Structure formats: structure tokens, C-alpha cells
Amino acid sequence: METVLGVIGSPISHSLSPIMHKAAYDELGLDYTYHAFHVESNELKAAIDGVKGLGLKGLNVTIPHKVSVIQYLDHIDPLAKEIGAVNTIVNDGGTLIGYNTDGEGYVKSLINRLGTSLTNRRVLIIGAGGASKAVALSLAKSGVETIGITNRTLSKAEGLSLICSPYTQSEAMTLGIAQARLTEFDIIINTTSIGMTPDIEKMPISLEKLSKGSFVSDLIYNPFQTRFLCEAEKKGANIMNGVDMFVYQGALAFEKWFDKEAPIKVMKDTVLKNLGGVK
């Protein structure tokens, strides 16, 4: 079973992780399989015990288990500990190690898309939940000049801003203030689920004041281009949907399991093809 990997979550049937990872194994001639395992919360401990019992090589972890899985692992990587969530488990000879590749995956996808480092960038993050925390902490550690965090519940934005403050200048603000101060930021990231199918008409904030040439990104990839990104593009912004982050978090997980560079292009092409052939 040491040739078996997979992802656990609920719901899980629509996960693109199995086809993405299988494409990577095929590309590199690796004789491994990757499965989607439907695991409910009351079965999580048994599922993780099964990783050791069956000798699985590793797992990805998705909603709703990223936080609760931590208690069943042997070691947690410091960044995952700080984020408070695990999305990747490595079975190292019976010792289960938890990592979080979501935030680093986002940062890598952003640097790759911008083609430059993040130094001097002023970033506005919309949302202060789990996804936001991974992205905000990783960005804070990657040299951005400042991070603004805005959220419907201001106290959560304040809490996250405090967590980022040892690493970069950070500030929490209401949604209204963020909208009014939009021109102060050159990268704007939606980490909330607002605009996701089926509520595709919704926007997390108004982009009325967006400056031309800004970079606007949405972690959502269903729909492929949210209304938020469509409006940003109309205003002359460069845009990035959630596919890149998804691919890079998977690539970083691959590298933890196999200790070799992931075939990112093949992985991304496979995901795009399965999202309907959009490039």
C-alpha cells in the first residue's frame, strides 16, 4: 500500500486532485495511485489510523478536516502549526507529519504569474477564514510591504492582522473602508466563497474605485471566472482565478511525498481540461 495516496474530505466526489496527481505520476512514470476517500468527521480518527495501518504513502486533507486532523498526527510542520490547519500528510515510515501547502502554493502561483518578487507590494485580502489565514501568513512572510485585511466580521480581520504583524505591516478594516481605499492596494485577493456557484452574481466588495493595472485574484475556480474577476478585467486589471493556487498546493504536496520537482504544466493542463477546456 506504500504506492497509494489520496485525499480525504466530505464532500469529495468532485475533487480534481485524483486526476491532477495521476497525471503527474503518468508523466514521470511513477507507479503510484491517488484516490478520493469520502470521510465523515466521525470516521476521521479511523481514517488516519488507517494511513499507518495500511501503510499509505500520504494524504491530502480538505474540507471539513483541515483543522481537526491535527490532533491525530505525530508531528506538525511549524508553518502548518501557525496556520492551524493541515492539507498534506506525509507517512514517514509510520510517523505522520502534517504540512500546509495552501498558502505557499498561493504565493508561488502569484510570483509565477507576476513574474517578479512580492517586495513593495501592497496587498488587500478579503475574508478572514481558514483559506485567508494560510494566504495572509504566507504572504506576510514573503516580503510584501503591507497587508490590509477586510472581512464582514471585523474582529476576525483584526485577529488575523495581529497574527501577520510580526512579519509585515498589517491592518484590519471594514468592507466599506476597503472599498473606499482600494487605490492604495496593488494586489487584491478574494478568499471568501462569495461568487461561487450557484451564487455567481455576488461580489465580496465593490470594485468601483479599482485602479487600472491592479492585480485582482480570486481563490474560486467554479465558476472559472467569477463576477469579481470579470468586473476587475473590465476595469483594466490583470486577473488570476483559483486554478493556479490549486495546482501549486498540489505540486508542493507532491514534492513533499516524492522529493522531486512536480510536473506543474501537465498538472495544470489536466485541471484546465477537466474544468471544461478553458485556458
Length of the chain measured in residues: 279
Residue (219 or 264) nearer to ligand ATR, CB: 219
As a whole number of angstroms, the distance between CA 230 and CA 195 comes to 11
Tell me which stretch binds ligand ATR (CB under 6 A): 91-99, 108-116, 145-153, 209-217. Answer: 145-153
As a whole number of Å, the end-to-end CA separation of the chain is 36
As a whole number of angstroms, the distance between CA 106 and CA 172 comes to 21
128 is a contact residue toward ligand ATR (CB under 6 A): yes
Q: Interface residues for ligand ATR in 211-230 (CB under 6 A)?
A: none
What residue number has its CB nearest to ligand ATR? Answer: 129
User: What sign has the CA pseudo-torsion 160, 166, 168, 171?
Assistant: positive
**Three cell numbers written together for 190:** 478574494
As a whole number of angstroms, the distance between CA 18 and CA 9 comes to 13
* Pairing relationship of beta strands 88-92 and 58-61 according to DSSP bridges: antiparallel
Catalytic annotation, pick one of 22, 66, 108, 268: 66
The DSSP bridge partners found for residue 98 are: 76, 89
156 is a contact residue toward ligand ATR (CB under 6 A): yes
Which residue of 192, 214, 226, 270 would you call a contact of ligand ATR, by CB under 6 A?
192
190 is a contact residue toward ligand ATR (CB under 6 A): no
129 is a contact residue toward ligand ATR (CB under 6 A): yes
Q: Is 66 a catalytic residue?
A: yes
- Give how far the C-alpha of residue 148 lies from the chain's centroid of Cα atoms, to the nearest Å: 18
The DSSP output letter for 72 is G
51 is a contact residue toward ligand ATR (CB under 6 A): no
Tell me which stretch binds ligand ATR (CB under 6 A): 19-27, 106-114, 152-160, 256-264. Answer: 152-160
Residue (95 or 153) nearer to ligand ATR, CB: 153
131 is a contact residue toward ligand ATR (CB under 6 A): yes
Active site residues: 66
- Site for ligand ATR, rule CB under 6 A: 127-132, 151-153, 156, 191-194
